[in-house]
């Protein structure tokens, strides 16, 4: 295997990551953005976990013999697993905050498409200028 | 869905099983895959299932919101106080060696406590999130609008006509936005 | 080679799901696809020997995350405005992909035992988990003991997120102040 062929897993994950990235920056719908963010996030997790993989290794749960006389078996690297394990749960908690904000945006403006939202906010600012000019109507 | 006998009976079997499995995942996390984070989510899913089958009010009755808030804080506190306990016993913060008779048993106790704190927080946070999202009334906008109308002018047929025109305007607006 | 086939087919499936999720306009379908994405990702994590992560991803990503998204969709419109391909973001994504691909070529080969990541602290954790802590699951011992500070921080983040959601959604909405002003002026075009 050449050095380039050794990294195929990373390239595939990057392709996946960019689909999520595109969804986040190109789509106006906020729920779609959140789904894109989830895809992006999960792809980053995959990148990390790929780094922890050891060929012919096994899951980092020690077997009985290893506990008795030190680690002998080849294990995958547990460190990325720990980081990603917590990141997944934190990810869903922050995603929930995002959804909560989407709900509030919808309740205030009646839309979750960001181009409509920008128009609406601009219109509201114009209205506010008018109110400022003629306070008693 | 709430009147379907199959769903009701199956969920009554499922909910305790799910909770038991969550406890297994929580306390077997030292020996197999699992731990506080996963167990918390699985435990919360039992409450979510209960609320989905029997309704939000029954769900709230089973696990009231103020207790849930306490549980969220208690989990984080348990984690932090475990660290403080090791601090008082003469070791560094979150160094569990001093918690037991030997270093290994101390580590066991410390990890058990800390994982339990994580599980408690995650479970109650997930329950809180679900109840907050699902309990959000869809008619908030409508309600607040109606209150605003009542404050502005006495309820009259004229008002109704206006609100009708309004909904029409909203519709027009929406269809316009979708073009 | 079989590892390559399994990984490549799983990631292709993930790519297919992601593209479908990107293209569909019905948000219910999109949310369900994102749940399916999480499940397939969990399978991939098992293949990559990360059983704890797979467990979490299956429980959190496919379970709770989908439920929250569905609860959101019950409150907001479940249909997306149709979009054509946006070229600037597509170009940006491609450019980022190219940059990442160039950066990735510097990484050690996939699954290489001699990669620096496997030689620095990880062996000590694996050995220490047996000798000092006596817990077979290395992930748990690193999570709760070696990196206890980290996990404490993550727990506090979850706690904070819950508080934020409760603050944002917990109460009832008051009518907007600016809206009231506008209504007083008789200019309520009802932009909502």
Looking at the structure of chain C, the number of domains it has is 2
**Mean per-residue pLDDT, C3-9:** 84
Band (B124; pLDDT cuts 50, 70, 90)? very high
* Chain C partners (3+ C-beta pairs within 8 A): A, B
Query: Which of A85, A88, A116 lies nearest to residue B177, judging by beta carbons?
Result: A116
Q: Do C126 and A71 touch (CB under 8 A)?
A: yes
What are the structural domain ranges in chain A?
5-60+71-133
C52 at B interface, C-beta within 8 A: yes
The answer to whether A78 touches C143, Cβ cutoff 8 Å, is no
Q: Which residue of C has its CA nearest to A83?
A: C143
Distance of residue A47 Cα from the nearest chain C Cα, in angstroms: 10
Give the pLDDT confidence score for residue C7 in this predicted structure.
86
pLDDT tens digits, A35-57: 999 999 999 999 999 988 888 88
Q: Percent of chain C at pLDDT above 90?
A: 46
Q: What is the 3-state secondary structure (H, E, C) of B15-72?
A: HHHHHHHHHHHHHCCCCCCCCHHHHHHHHHHHHHHHHHHHCHHHHHHHCCHHHHHHHH
Distance of residue B122 Cα from the nearest chain C Cα, in angstroms: 7
In a domain? residue C29: yes
Q: Percent of chain C at pLDDT above 70?
A: 88
pLDDT tens digits, B39-54: 999 999 999 999 988 8
Q: Do C52 and B34 touch (CB under 8 A)?
A: yes
Give the pLDDT confidence score for residue B34 in this predicted structure.
86
Band (A9; pLDDT cuts 50, 70, 90)? confident
Query: Which of A59, A99, A111 lies nearest to residue B133, judging by beta carbons?
Result: A99
A14 at C interface, C-beta within 8 A: yes
* pLDDT at position A5 over 70: no
Query: Which of C65, C164, C185 lies nearest to residue A97, judging by beta carbons?
Result: C164
Distance of residue B157 Cα from the nearest chain C Cα, in angstroms: 19
Return the minimum-mean-pLDDT range out of A93-102, B120-129, B146-155, C124-133. B146-155
**Mean per-residue pLDDT, B132-160:** 58
Please state, in angstroms and rounded to a whole number, the distance separating the CA atoms of residues C77 and B70: 34
Give the pLDDT confidence score for residue C61 in this predicted structure.
87
Give the pLDDT confidence score for residue B161 in this predicted structure.
43
* pLDDT at position B123 over 50: yes
Q: Do C180 and B76 touch (CB under 8 A)?
A: no
Q: Do C143 and B122 touch (CB under 8 A)?
A: no
* pLDDT at position B142 over 80: no
C96 at B interface, C-beta within 8 A: no
Q: What is the pTM of this model?
A: 0.83
B98 at C interface, C-beta within 8 A: no
Q: Do A108 and C72 touch (CB under 8 A)?
A: no
What interface predicted TM-score (ipTM) does this complex get?
0.86
Query: Which of B33, B76, B144 lies nearest to residue C137, judging by beta carbons?
Result: B33
What are the structural domain ranges in chain B?
5-136, 141-178
A5-60+71-133 CATH: 1.10.287.3510
Which residues on chain B are in Cβ contact (under 8 Å) with A113? Answer: 177
- Average of per-residue pLDDT values in chain A: 85
Please state, in angstroms and rounded to a whole number, the distance separating the CA atoms of residues C39 and C51: 13
Distance of residue A72 Cα from the nearest chain B Cα, in angstroms: 18
Q: Do A107 and B37 touch (CB under 8 A)?
A: no
* pLDDT at position B88 over 70: yes
* pLDDT at position C14 over 90: yes
Q: Which of C23, C52, C80 is the last residue of a domain?
A: C80
**Mean per-residue pLDDT, C20-29:** 91
Give the pLDDT confidence score for residue C82 in this predicted structure.
82
Q: For residue C61, what are the domain limits?
A: 1-80
Q: Do A97 and C168 touch (CB under 8 A)?
A: yes
**Mean per-residue pLDDT, A118-126:** 87
Band (B57; pLDDT cuts 50, 70, 90)? confident
Which residues on chain B are in Cβ contact (under 8 Å) with C165? Answer: 128-129, 132-133
Band (B173; pLDDT cuts 50, 70, 90)? very low
> Are residues C1 and C76 located together in one domain of the fold?
yes
Long-range contacts of C92-99 (CB under 8 A, 24+ apart): C92/A21, C92/A25, C93/A18, C93/A19, C93/A21, C93/A22, C93/A25, C93/A26, C94/A18, C96/A18, C96/A21, C97/A14, C97/A15, C97/A17, C97/A18
Mutation target among C131, C144, C149, C183 for the B interface, most CBs of B within 10 A? C144
Q: Do C76 and A102 touch (CB under 8 A)?
A: yes
Band (C188; pLDDT cuts 50, 70, 90)? very low
Residues B21-56 as b or e (16 or more Cβ within 10 Å = b)? bbeebbbebbebbbbbbbbbbbbbbbbbbbbbbbee
Band (B155; pLDDT cuts 50, 70, 90)? very low
> What is residue C79's three-state secondary structure?
strand
Q: Which residue of A has its CA nearest to B40?
A: A89
């Amino acid at each position: 295997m050449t050095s380039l062929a050794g990294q195929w897993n990373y390239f595939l994950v990057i392709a996946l990551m960019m689909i999520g990235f595109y969804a986040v920056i190109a789509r106006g719908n906020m729920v779609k953005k959140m789904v894109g963010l989830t895809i992006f996030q999960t792809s980053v997790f995959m990148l990390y976990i790929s780094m922890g993989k050891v060929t012919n290794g096994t899951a980092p749960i020690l077997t009985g013999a290893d506990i008795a006389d030190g680690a002998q078996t080849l294990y995958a690297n547990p460190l990325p697993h720990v980081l990603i394990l917590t990141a997944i749960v934190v990810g869903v908690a922050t995603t929930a905050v995002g959804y909560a904000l989407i709900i509030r945006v919808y309740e205030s403006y009646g839309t979750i498409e960001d181009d409509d939202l920008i128009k609406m906010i601009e219109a509201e600012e114009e209205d506010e200028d008018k109110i400022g000019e003629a306070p008693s109507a | 869905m709430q009147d379907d006998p199959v769903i009701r009976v199956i969920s009554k079997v499922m909910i305790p099983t799910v909770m038991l499995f969550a406890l297994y995942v929580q306390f077997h996390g030292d020996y197999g895959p699992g731990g506080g984070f996963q167990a918390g989510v699985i435990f919360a899913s039992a409450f979510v299932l209960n609320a989905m089958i029997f309704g939000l009010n029954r769900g709230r009755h089973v696990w009231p919101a103020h207790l849930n808030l306490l549980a969220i804080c208690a989990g984080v506190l348990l984690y932090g106080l475990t660290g403080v306990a090791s601090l008082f016993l003469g070791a560094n913060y979150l160094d569990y060696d001093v918690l037991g008779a030997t270093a290994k048993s101390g580590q066991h106790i410390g990890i058990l406590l800390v994982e339990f704190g994580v599980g408690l927080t995650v479970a109650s946070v997930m329950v809180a999130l679900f109840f907050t999202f699902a309990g959000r009334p869809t008619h908030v906008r409508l309600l607040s609008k109606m209150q605003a109308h009542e404050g502005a002018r006495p309820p009259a047929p004229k008002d109704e006509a206006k609100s009708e025109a309004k909904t029409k305007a909203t519709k027009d607006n929406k269809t316009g936005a979708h073009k | 080679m079989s590892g390559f086939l399994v990984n490549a087919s799983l990631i292709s499936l993930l790519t297919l799901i992601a593209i479908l999720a990107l293209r569909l306009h019905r948000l219910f379908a999109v949310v369900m696809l994102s749940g399916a994405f999480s499940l397939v990702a969990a399978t991939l994590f098992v293949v990559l020997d990360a059983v704890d992560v797979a467990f979490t991803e299956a429980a959190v990503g496919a379970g709770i995350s989908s439920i929250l998204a569905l609860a959101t969709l019950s409150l907001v419109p479940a249909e997306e405005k149709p979009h054509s391909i946006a070229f600037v973001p597509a170009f940006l994504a491609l450019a980022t992909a190219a940059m990442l691909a160039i950066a990735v070529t510097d990484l050690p080969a996939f699954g290489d035992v001699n990669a620096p990541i496997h030689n620095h602290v990880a062996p000590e954790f694996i050995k220490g988990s047996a000798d000092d802590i006596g817990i077979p699951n290395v992930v748990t011992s690193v999570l709760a003991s070696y990196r206890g500070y980290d996990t404490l921080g993550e727990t506090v983040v979850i706690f904070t997120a819950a508080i934020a959601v409760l603050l944002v959604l917990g109460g009832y909405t008051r009518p907007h102040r600016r809206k009231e002003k506008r209504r007083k002026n008789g200019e309520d075009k009802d932009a909502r």
